[in-house]
Amino acid sequence: MSEKTLQGKKNGMSVLLLTILGYLAGIALIILSVVKATSAGPALGFFIIGLLILCLGWIPLLGLKVLKPQEALVLTLFGKYIGTIRGDGFFFVNPFCTAVNPAAKTRLGQSGDVDAGTGTAAKLLTLTSGSAQLETASKKISLKAMTLSNARQKVNDVLGNPVEISVAVIWKVNDTAKAVFNVDNYKEYLSLQCDTAVRDIVKIYPYDMAPGIDTTGDGKADDGSLRGSTTVVAERIRQMIQDKVAEAGLEILEARITYLAYAPEIAAVMLQRQQASAVIDARKMIVDGAVGMVEMALDRLKENGTVDLDEERKAAMVSNLLVVLCGNHDAQPVVNSGSLY
C-alpha cells in the first residue's frame, strides 16, 4: 500500500464559520418560534428546525483538523484507507473519518517524542488517557528527522570477544501509509531492526586489527576493525537497517556509533594485551635504533682509522653500547685501566 495525499482540504476555517452561522441561525429560529408563541405550523416548524440544527450542528466540527509543519494524519473511513493530509494548515475532512497511528503511544529513547520525565535511552511504552482532542492530536505522525538511541548492547566480535556497542540512528517517515498499515508498530519495528542490524554487522569485524580476517566478503584479508573503521561500520549498519525498514515506509538518514568498548569482564585483560603490544613495539624501535647507532660507530672508527679493533674488542664494544642505548636507566661508567688481555 502506498501513500495517497489528499489535496484541497484546507477549508477548515470556512467550515468553522459556516457551523457558527448555522448555530446562530438555529438559535434565531428557536427565539422566533418562542416569540410568536402560537401552535401555528410555521412557528412549530421553526422550533423543530432550530432544535435539529443545535442537536446536529456539532457533527461538522469532528472533521476539523489542525496540523503543524512536518506533520501528517492518516485517515480511514469505516476501515478503508482514504488518504493522508500533510503540511501545516486548518483542514476539513469527512467528519466520520478516523485518524490511525498505532505507534502513537510508543516512546523511543532520545527521539522526538521522548517522555520528558524519563532519562533512560531504552524504549518506553506509556499508556495515556485524555480527552478526544488530546487523543486525536496523538494520532498525528511526525515527518521530522528523529533520533533513536537504543540501550547499549553486548555483542561478540568475529574473534568471539564480547564488545559493548551503542548506535544512534537518525530516521524519518517517508510513506505514512506503509508505516501505518504494513507493520503493526513502526517505532517498535525500527527499534528491533536496529538491534539485529548492529549484531549482524559487529560479528563480522574484530575490535582491533587482526591478521587473516575478511570483513568485506571478497575472500581477502583486510585491516578493517570496529575501532579503526567506525565510519565504514556505521554506514554498513545504516544500509542494513534501511533495507529492513523500507517496507515500513521509513528512511534511515544516518547512523553513528556512540559507544564502543570491550565488555567489563575482559576489558582489563585486553588493556594488558594492548600495553604489552605497545611495550614490544617500543622495544623493537629502540633495538633497531641502537643497532644502527652501533653499526655507524664501528664504520666511523674504521673509516677514520681512530683505533684498530679485533673481533673480541668489537664484541665488547657492541655489548657495552647496546647496554647503554637499550637500558632503562642511565649507565654507570667503569674506567678500565688495564688490558682486555
User: Residue 123: pLDDT above 70?
Assistant: no
pLDDT computed for residue 334 by the predictor: 67
The sign of the torsion formed by the CA atoms of 323, 329, 331, 332 equals negative
Which amino acid, one-letter code, is at 156? N
Q: 171, 178 in Cβ contact below 8 A?
A: no
User: Residue 341: pLDDT above 80?
Assistant: no
Helix (H, G, I), strand (E, B) or coil at 242: helix
pLDDT computed for residue 170 by the predictor: 94
Q: How confident is the model at residue 13 (pLDDT cuts 50, 70, 90)?
A: confident
Measured between alpha carbons, how far is residue 236 from residues 33, 200, 240 in Å? 75, 10, 6
pLDDT computed for residue 301 by the predictor: 77
Task: Return the ∠ at Cα 267 (arms to 263 and 270), rounded to 5°.
Answer: 125
Q: How confident is the model at residue 116 (pLDDT cuts 50, 70, 90)?
A: very low
pLDDT computed for residue 35 by the predictor: 75
Q: How confident is the model at residue 252 (pLDDT cuts 50, 70, 90)?
A: very high
Cα dihedral 196→200→201→205 (10° resolution): 140
Distance from chain centroid for Cα 12: 37
What is the mean predicted confidence (pLDDT) over 276-292? 81
Q: Find the range with the poorest average confidence among 18-22, 23-27, 46-50, 273-277.
A: 273-277
The per-residue b/e assignment along 235-261, b for 16 or more CB within 10 angstroms, e otherwise, is ebbbebbbebbeebbbebeebbbeebe
More confident residue, 281 or 192: 192
User: Residue 288: pLDDT above 60?
Assistant: yes
Quick one: what percent of the chain has pLDDT higher than 70? Answer: 84
pLDDT computed for residue 44 by the predictor: 75
pLDDT computed for residue 329 by the predictor: 67
Per DSSP (E only), the strands in 132-213 are: 141-142, 146-149, 153-156, 162-173
User: Residue 268: pLDDT above 60?
Assistant: yes
pLDDT computed for residue 137 by the predictor: 41
More confident residue, 214 or 155: 155
Q: How confident is the model at residue 130 (pLDDT cuts 50, 70, 90)?
A: very low
Range with the largest mean pLDDT of 52-56, 116-120, 122-126: 52-56
Mean pLDDT of the chain: 80
pLDDT computed for residue 297 by the predictor: 81
Write the pLDDT tens digit of every residue in 39-60: 555 677 777 887 888 888 888 8
User: Residue 277: pLDDT above 50?
Assistant: yes
User: Residue 243: pLDDT above 80?
Assistant: yes
Q: Find the range with the poorest average confidence among 81-85, 89-93, 174-178, 293-297.
A: 293-297
Q: Find the range with the poorest average confidence among 198-202, 291-295, 311-315, 324-328.
A: 324-328
pLDDT computed for residue 74 by the predictor: 93
User: Residue 127: pLDDT above 50?
Assistant: no
